[in-house]
């Protein structure tokens, strides 16, 4: 097994005292920031970017792996103890988790979430290690038209499938693509949308966009509607589980993982669908269906595992194709590019050591997370009580610091503010932010692939389609776009059986 050898070498690179310390710091600050109310995993990674600026890529990746899983777990702690989840992917965890917490079983809810995340994260990372090289092998055979098709699929998936309104999804996507246009055209050096501002010639840094939309936009939006009385936090002791809790949890963990990983790995998958599927499945299979809605442990164990496995799954297209499929992987991709590292098939060939070190650190981060979270949960719960003015002032403070540190120019702070206001408006009018970020990141790459394809066909537009998989992908895209029409004829099932997101 070639992959396993590589993975072992990766562990060899990572397992030094210094690197383990970095992983531990990453997990700790990732969880601490992720636990803070209103901060989801994507914002956690975006806000903590500057922490890694001074490091070499390997060390930075090790820390990112910790921050990534820490931020994920922090989010579920918040939804269990506070109920109102910050991310759509932890909506389901909140339904049963918060009921359990209110019934005095917060410790068990946190424990099944932590152990379930560990199980799902470990299996998911293992699948990532086995699958990503296969995807790379396949991806190397693809040409420019195929890549273009895959990116169009990511655009359509993020805009039309994941959100609730297609037109709003596409509006967000197009705004993102326009932001991606700003700067010098890479082929001809012509200025586009720079408005005569010299600093804009290099384009708008993706990190600035991510921090502006996620952190500043969110802080402004919350500030505009700040709850004057903070939500009540349920006190919690040391997480633990009794024998019957274990018995009721382990199957949902595995089933949740099985739901989560494939959805995460698909360009239009996301974490919402698998968490809902996992919840519905556990409810159907449970011996205690009457407990659902009143705090059933299966309803925490399954969706939480699905959520984490989906997060591991998103790393497959992210690393192997350079294709982000959720907000967190989009921000991670932005972070990688800021190190001059372009994820994609070539990454596995050129920087194979780095990739395997990252995958090994994902295992380590995941394990550290479990060791850290079981004893520290009561401390994390205290973070939920931080006074809100300090919390959101702190977000703006760190967001500004991170955005300034990218290029050291004050103009980036103004851009950050403008993008923050854009993010504010998008939250006000229900425009999803994910398509925008994906548009900013993938837009320039998609344009480059399109132009390479046209160069190969001497400008004939038929050159945009071709290659081994582009036809299949365009077929999938047509189905995705035509789905609302198709559904009327194909499926005759009441649509309102989905859980209401307000829980």
Q: Give residues 188-217 in contact with another protein (rule: CB under 8 A).
A: 188, 190-193, 216
Asked whether position 68 contacts another protein by CB under 8 A, the answer is: no
- Can you tell me which of 447, 469, 470, 473 binds another protein, judged by CB under 8 A? 447
What whole-number distance in Å separates Cα of residue 408 and Cα of residue 236?
Answer: 43
Q: Which of 236, 322, 424, 435 binds another protein (CB under 8 A)?
A: 424
Place of tokens 């989010």: 75
Q: What is the DSSP letter of 289?
A: G
Of 130-138, 310-318, 338-346, 424-432, the segment contacting another protein by CB under 8 A is 424-432
Measured CA to CA, the distance from residue 41 to residue 463 in angstroms comes to 39
Q: How many residues bind another protein (CB under 8 A)?
A: 83
DSSP codes, 422-463: HHHHHHHTT--SHHHHHHHHHHHHHHHHHHHHHHHTTT-GGG
Q: Which stretch binds another protein (CB under 8 A): 26-34, 51-59, 137-145, 255-263?
A: 51-59
Distance CA 314, CA 327 (A): 10
Binding of another protein by 401 (CB under 8 A): yes
Using CB under 8 A, which of 28, 84, 338, 352 touches another protein? Answer: 84
Binding of residue 434 to another protein (CB under 8 A)? no
Q: How far is the CB of 55 from another protein (least distance, A)?
A: 7
* Residue 137 · residue 324 · CB < 8 Å: no
CA-based nearest residue to 256, from 274, 241, 240: 274
| Residues between 379 and 398 with contacts to another protein, criterion CB under 8 A | 387-390, 392-394, 396-398
Q: Does 58 bind another protein (CB under 8 A)?
A: no
Tell me how far, at minimum, the Cβ of 411 lies from another protein, in Å.
Answer: 8
Residues 300, 96: Cα–Cα separation, whole Å: 6
Tell me which of 235, 237, 410, 482 binds another protein, using CB under 8 A: 410
Q: Does residue number 178 form part of the binding site for another protein (CB under 8 A)?
A: yes
Under 8 Å between Cβ of 233 and 384: yes
Site for another protein in 19-38 (CB under 8 A): 37-38
Euclidean distance between CA atoms 109 and 444, whole angstroms: 44
Contact with another protein (CB under 8 A): which of 28, 199, 230, 367?
A: 230
Contact status: 153 vs another protein (CB under 8 A) = no
Q: Is 181 in the site for another protein (CB under 8 A)?
A: yes
- Please identify, using beta-carbon distances, which residue of 83 and 122 lies nearer to another protein: 83
Alpha-carbon distance of 446 to 149, in angstroms, equals 9
Residue from 428, 462, 479, 482 touching another protein (CB under 8 A): that is 428
Q: Which two tokens stand for residue 70?
A: 């820490």
Contact residue for another protein among 201, 374, 405, 465 (CB under 8 A)? 405
| Structural contact between residues 162 and 434, judged by C-beta atoms closer than 8 angstroms | yes
Q: Does 502 bind another protein (CB under 8 A)?
A: yes
Our finding on whether 425 is near another protein (CB under 8 A) is: yes
Interaction of residue 92 with another protein, rule CB under 8 A: no
- Rounded to whole angstroms, the Cα distance separating 440 from 413 reads 18
Q: Is 476 in the site for another protein (CB under 8 A)?
A: no
The verdict on 219 binding another protein (CB under 8 A) reads yes
Q: Does the protein bind another protein through residue 221 (CB under 8 A)? A: yes
CB-side neighbour CA atoms (13 Å) of 54: 2
Q: Is 49 left (phi over 0), alpha (psi -120 to 50) or beta?
A: alpha
């Amino acid at each position: 097994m070639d992959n396993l050898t590589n993975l072992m070498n990766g562990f060899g690179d990572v397992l030094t005292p210094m690197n383990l310390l970095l992983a531990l710091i990453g997990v700790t600050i990732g969880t601490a920031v992720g636990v803070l109310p209103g901060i989801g995993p994507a914002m956690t990674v975006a806000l903590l970017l500057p922490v890694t600026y001074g490091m070499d890529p390997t060390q930075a990746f090790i820390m990112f792996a910790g921050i990534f899983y820490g931020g994920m777990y922090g989010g579920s702690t918040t939804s269990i103890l506070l109920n109102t989840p910050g991310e759509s992917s932890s909506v389901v965890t909140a339904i049963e988790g918060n009921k359990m917490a209110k019934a005095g079983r917060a410790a068990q809810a946190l424990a099944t979430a932590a152990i379930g995340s560990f199980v799902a994260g470990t299996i998911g990372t293992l699948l990532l290690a086995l699958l990503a090289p296969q995807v790379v092998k396949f991806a190397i055979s693809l040409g420019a038209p195929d890549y273009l098709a895959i990116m169009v699929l990511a655009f359509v998936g993020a805009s039309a499938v994941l959100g609730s309104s297609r037109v709003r999804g596409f509006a967000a996507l197009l705004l993102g693509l326009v932001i991606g246009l700003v700067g010098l055209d890479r082929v001809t050096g012509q200025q586009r949308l720079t408005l005569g501002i010299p600093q804009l010639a290099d384009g708008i840094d993706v990190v600035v966009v991510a921090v502006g939309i996620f952190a500043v936009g969110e802080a402004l939006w919350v500030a505009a509607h700040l709850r004057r009385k903070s939500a009540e936090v349920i006190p919690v002791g040391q997480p633990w589980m009794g024998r019957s809790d274990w018995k009721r949890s382990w199957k949902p963990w595995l089933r949740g993982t099985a739901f989560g990983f494939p959805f995460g790995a698909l360009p239009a998958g996301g974490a919402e669908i698998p968490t809902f599927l996992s919840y519905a499945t556990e409810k159907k299979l449970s011996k205690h269906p009457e407990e659902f809605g009143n705090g059933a442990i299966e309803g925490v164990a399954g969706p939480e595992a699905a959520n984490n496995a989906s997060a591991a799954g998103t790393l497959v297209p992210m690393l192997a194709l350079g294709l982000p499929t959720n907000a967190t992987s989009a921000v991670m991709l932005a972070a990688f590019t800021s190190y001059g590292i372009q994820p994609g098939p070539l990454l596995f060939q050129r920087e194979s050591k780095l990739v395997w070190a990252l995958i090994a650190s994902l295992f380590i981060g995941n394990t550290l997370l479990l060791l850290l979270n079981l004893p520290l949960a009561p401390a994390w719960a205290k973070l939920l009580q931080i006074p809100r003015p300090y919390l959101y002032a702190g977000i703006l403070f760190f967001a500004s610091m991170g955005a300034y540190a990218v290029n050291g120019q004050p103009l980036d702070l103004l851009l950050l503010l403008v993008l923050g206001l854009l993010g504010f408006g998008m939250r006000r009018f229900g425009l999803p932010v994910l398509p925008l970020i994906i548009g900013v990141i993938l837009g320039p790459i998609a344009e480059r692939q399109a132009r390479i394809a046209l160069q190969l066909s001497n400008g004939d537009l038929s050159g945009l389609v071709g290659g081994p998989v582009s036809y299949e992908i365009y077929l999938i895209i047509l189905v995705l776009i035509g789905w609302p029409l198709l559904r009327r004829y194909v499926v005759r099932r009441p649509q309102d059986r989905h859980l209401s997101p307000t829980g």
